[in-house]
């Protein structure tokens, strides 16, 4: 954008906008170590609405007026073609909404809560002094950085439109769909009635958030203030809070402004008083009231507990410091081993090393072994790598580009192999080798996408059937073997091809044995003729020849048939039973026609027929010429 901001990834989505992490190229040119910013971009459906643009401008102006360490800094608001955007400081951490969810079911202790609400209170007090009321304070609009700093954002946004629910981009479930500009669960009774906004509205929301931090529960169970039945719904004191401080917090939670604390700073001051929280007060009372050995024993136990806590805290700090210097490659190797309670540290490290981690992912993808023949990428393994890292970078634009590139490459390979297969089938090229081998192409498709199933067209099936019948007729063993393989890998799902495939399956053993025999004889090796296999292979051939012989009634056709059988006999042993049976029938046919032509006084023709018939019988049976 503006030739200055390089978008890296989307980090969230809100009601009116998307939030992106971007690199400020100008800051990078100055060698700034962390040249990152957050950019809020109006959604396309709001891009042409002047009112929506004014909302973005108003938020920018109001936030820029608030210079406070606990309020997010806004650097600029601008447009680039149809995109209207606001540039903010980049925050590394999580929203209070996420913090509260992780604290369930017992909430955060008093000390931890105080560290958070003091900073929130400071930001709100400052804003109120500048005459600005937040109007939509909620956990998702408050950010806790990895350093423990609080950042409040979305000041006075969307008065006339739905309040932007970015939560620094995470969608907020409580967002009101009615374009009211506030979230009902945290809106005061007066806000819900449409009264003019005032500091007391922020006090109510602030008190609700304080209660949630202490208990992990909303004080009114997320029921809107104007729907709360105060007679039935009673507030419960947080266990981490003293009774005196509970009275102060209850005043901030008052439904009606007349009973509510009206000043944030006043509420914070009461919480900062020296009154101890309940657990510490009870411990102090016990120490004062117990004497003698029991007091000594209890003190020793408490000192031991405190030493354990201090030791544990030091261990946690040391571990956190160690994570600070972890490299991208180490993070990449150990990411799944980080304990679940260190999610915040993990997320921070992932963001810090995002570019380096994605560089490693690209290298890992490039190193994925190809298929055995080295032709195809292992897209299944690549998809697993991308899916695994997407758990940590679900909105990364770069990762999306890597994934899309992989999908395009995969589809391109599938299309290329499918087209080549279609061409080979349309040209009846079933016996090709190398890159055009049909079986290898189908295996390649299965490797690239196991779920893909090539579907041949009707023309391919017709050609295949015709080629199979022709190969059987010509007794082309090599072609039949190629056709059987093609049928198994391409036409197995075709009902029309089923009879041929069944026949082909029964012939496979026979074809193999005949192929082995032919190969051995061609190489000069001694080999025994596979009689049984040949009977299976030539079964239909001799059946057809027998039927043709029975229909011959002319000497000329009989002599032509005799030559055809003689050619066939050269490819098999003379004692092959189906051949012997056919030649005997042929000899009988010669003698039968000789008698017919003898009766007709065609003596020359009769002598030729007698001669050939006797010659066949003499060779077959060893008898003398009649």
* CA–CA separation, 484 and 205 (whole Å): 77
Q: 230 and 363: one domain?
A: no
Residue 227's pLDDT is: 94
Phi, psi of 21 (to 5 degrees): -90, 135
* CA–CA separation, 409 and 401 (whole Å): 12
Q: 124 and 233: one domain?
A: yes
Residue 615's pLDDT is: 92
At 1, is the pLDDT very low, low, confident or very high (cuts 50, 70, 90)? Answer: confident
Percent of the chain whose pLDDT exceeds 70: 83
Mean pLDDT lowest among 55-59, 146-150, 359-363, 574-578: 55-59
Evaluate if residue 273 carries a pLDDT over 80.
Answer: no
**Which of 218, 245, 280 is the C-terminal boundary of a domain?**
280
* Residues 20 and 8: beta-carbon distance below 8 Å: yes
Q: 226 and 130: one domain?
A: yes
* CA–CA separation, 114 and 522 (whole Å): 94
Residue 159's pLDDT is: 38
Evaluate if residue 511 carries a pLDDT over 90.
Answer: no
At 122, is the pLDDT very low, low, confident or very high (cuts 50, 70, 90)? Answer: very high
Q: 115 and 256: one domain?
A: yes
Order of strands across the sheet that contains 150-152: 93-95, 142-145, 150-152
Residue 277's pLDDT is: 45
At 11, is the pLDDT very low, low, confident or very high (cuts 50, 70, 90)? Answer: confident
Cα 71 to its chain centre, rounded Å, is: 37
At 304, is the pLDDT very low, low, confident or very high (cuts 50, 70, 90)? Answer: low
Q: 257 versus 501: which is more confidently predicted? A: 257
| Residue-range definition of the domain harbouring residue 386 | 356-448
Q: 318 versus 592: which is more confidently predicted? A: 592
Q: 547 and 579: one domain?
A: yes
Residue 22 is assigned to a structural domain of this protein = yes
Query: CB under 8 Å to 333, separation ≥6 — which residues?
Result: none
| Spatial CA neighbour of 39 closest among 11, 68, 3 | 11
DSSP state of 492: T
At 330, is the pLDDT very low, low, confident or very high (cuts 50, 70, 90)? Answer: confident
| Spatial CA neighbour of 504 closest among 492, 521, 518, 522 | 492
* Residues 120 and 70: beta-carbon distance below 8 Å: yes
Residue 26's pLDDT is: 87
Evaluate if residue 456 carries a pLDDT over 80.
Answer: yes
Beta bridge partners of 143: 95, 151
* CA–CA separation, 619 and 584 (whole Å): 10
Give mean pLDDT, residues 190-217: 95
* Residues 454 and 446: beta-carbon distance below 8 Å: no
Query: CB under 8 Å to 422, separation ≥6 — which residues?
Result: 456, 457, 460
Residue 290's pLDDT is: 44
Helix (H) or strand (E) holding 264: helix 264-271
The two structure tokens encoding residue 160? 């006339």
Evaluate if residue 166 carries a pLDDT over 80.
Answer: no
Residue 325's pLDDT is: 56
CATH number of the domain within which 201 lies: 1.10.510.10
* CA–CA separation, 156 and 160 (whole Å): 11
Q: 606 versus 352: which is more confidently predicted? A: 606
Residue 145: cis peptide before it, omega within 30 degrees of 0: no
Mean per-residue pLDDT over the chain, rounded: 83
Q: 83 and 125: one domain?
A: no
**Which of 280, 305, 325 is the C-terminal boundary of a domain?**
280
Q: 99 and 84: one domain?
A: no
| Spatial CA neighbour of 538 closest among 563, 561, 515, 510 | 510
Neighbours of 437 (CB within 10 A): 18
Q: 428 and 378: one domain?
A: yes
- The counts of H helices and E strands in the chain are 23, 8
**Which of 45, 67, 89 is the C-terminal boundary of a domain?**
89
Residue 364 is assigned to a structural domain of this protein = yes
* CA–CA separation, 246 and 267 (whole Å): 11
Beta bridge partners of 89: 37
Mean pLDDT lowest among 74-88, 278-292, 308-322, 345-359: 278-292
Q: How many domains does the chain have?
A: 4
pLDDT tens per residue across span 387-424: 988 888 887 888 888 999 999 999 999 999 999 999 99
Q: 194 and 144: one domain?
A: yes
Residue 179's pLDDT is: 33
Evaluate if residue 289 carries a pLDDT over 60.
Answer: no
Q: 155 and 60: one domain?
A: no
Give mean pLDDT, residues 526-534: 91
At 119, is the pLDDT very low, low, confident or very high (cuts 50, 70, 90)? Answer: very high
Residue 169's pLDDT is: 33
| Spatial CA neighbour of 360 closest among 339, 378, 385, 397 | 385
* Torsion from C-alpha of 580, 582, 583, 584, nearest 10 degrees: 80
């Amino acid at each position: 954008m503006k030739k200055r901001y390089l978008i890296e990834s989307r980090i969230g989505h809100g009601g009116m906008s998307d939030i992106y992490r971007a690199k400020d190229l100008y800051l990078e040119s100055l060698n700034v170590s962390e040249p990152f910013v957050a950019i809020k971009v109006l959604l396309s459906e709001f891009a042409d609405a002047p009112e929506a643009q004014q909302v973005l401008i108003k938020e920018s102006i109001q936030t820029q007026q608030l210079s406070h360490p606990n309020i997010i800094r806004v650097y600029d608001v601008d447009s680039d073609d149809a995109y209207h955007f606001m540039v903010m400081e980049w925050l590394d951490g999580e929203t209070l909404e996420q913090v509260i969810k992780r604290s369930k079911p017992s909430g955060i202790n008093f000390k931890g809560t105080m560290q958070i609400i003091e900073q929130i209170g400071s930001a709100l007090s400052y804003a109120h002094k500048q005459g600005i009321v937040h109007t939509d304070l909620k956990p998702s609009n408050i950010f806790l950085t990895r350093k423990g700093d609080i950042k409040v954002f979305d000041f006075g946004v969307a008065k006339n439109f739905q309040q932007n629910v970015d939560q620094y981009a995470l969608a907020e479930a409580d967002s009101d769909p009615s374009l009211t500009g506030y979230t009902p669960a945290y809106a005061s009774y007066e806000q819900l009635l449409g009264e003019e906004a005032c500091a007391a509205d922020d006090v109510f929301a602030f008190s609700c958030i304080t209660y949630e931090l202490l208990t992990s529960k909303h004080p009114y169970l997320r029921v809107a203030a104007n729907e709360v039945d105060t007679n039935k719904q009673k507030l419960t004191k947080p266990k981490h809070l003293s009774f005196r401080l509970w009275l102060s917090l209850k005043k901030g939670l008052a439904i009606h402004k007349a009973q509510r604390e009206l000043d944030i700073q006043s509420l914070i001051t009461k919480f900062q008083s020296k009154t101890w929280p309940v657990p510490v007060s009870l411990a102090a009372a016990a120490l004062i009231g117990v004497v003698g050995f029991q007091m000594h024993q209890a003190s020793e136990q408490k000192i031991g507990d405190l030493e354990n806590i201090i030791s544990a805290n030091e261990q946690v700090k040391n571990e956190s410091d160690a994570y600070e210097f972890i490299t991208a490659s180490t993070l990449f190797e150990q990411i799944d081993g980080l304990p679940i309670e260190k999610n915040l540290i993990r997320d921070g490290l992932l963001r810090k090393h995002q570019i380096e981690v994605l560089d490693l992912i690209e290298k890992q993808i490039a190193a994925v072994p190809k298929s055995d023949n080295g032709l195809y990428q292992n897209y299944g393994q690549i998809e697993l790598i991308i899916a695994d890292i997407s758990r940590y970078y679900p909105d990364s634009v770069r990762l999306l580009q890597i994934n899309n590139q992989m999908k395009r490459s995969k589809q391109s390979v599938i299309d290329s192999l499918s087209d080549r297969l279609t061409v080979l089938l349309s040209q009846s090229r079933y016996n090709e080798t190398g890159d055009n081998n049909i079986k290898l192409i189908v295996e390649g498709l299965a490797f690239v996408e196991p779920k893909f199933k090539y579907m041949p067209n009707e023309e391919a099936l017709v050609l295949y059937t015709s080629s199979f019948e022709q190969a059987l007729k010509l007794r082309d063993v090599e072609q039949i073997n190629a056709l059987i393989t093609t049928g198994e890998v391409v036409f197995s799902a075709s009902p029309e091809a089923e009879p041929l495939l069944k026949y082909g399956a029964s012939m496979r053993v026979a074809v193999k044995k005949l192929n082995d025999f032919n190969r051995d004889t061609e190489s000069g090796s001694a080999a025994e003729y596979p009689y049984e296999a040949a009977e299976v292979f030539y079964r239909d051939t001799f059946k057809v020849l027998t039927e043709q012989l029975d229909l011959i009634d002319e000497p000329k056709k009989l002599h032509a048939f005799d030559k055809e059988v003689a050619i066939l006999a050269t490819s098999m042993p003379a004692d092959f039973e189906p051949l012997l049976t056919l030649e005997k029938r042929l000899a009988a046919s010669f003698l039968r026609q000789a008698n017919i032509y003898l009766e007709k006084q065609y003596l020359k023709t009769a002598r030729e027929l007698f001669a050939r018939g006797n010659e066949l019988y003499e060779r077959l049976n060893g008898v003398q010429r009649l």
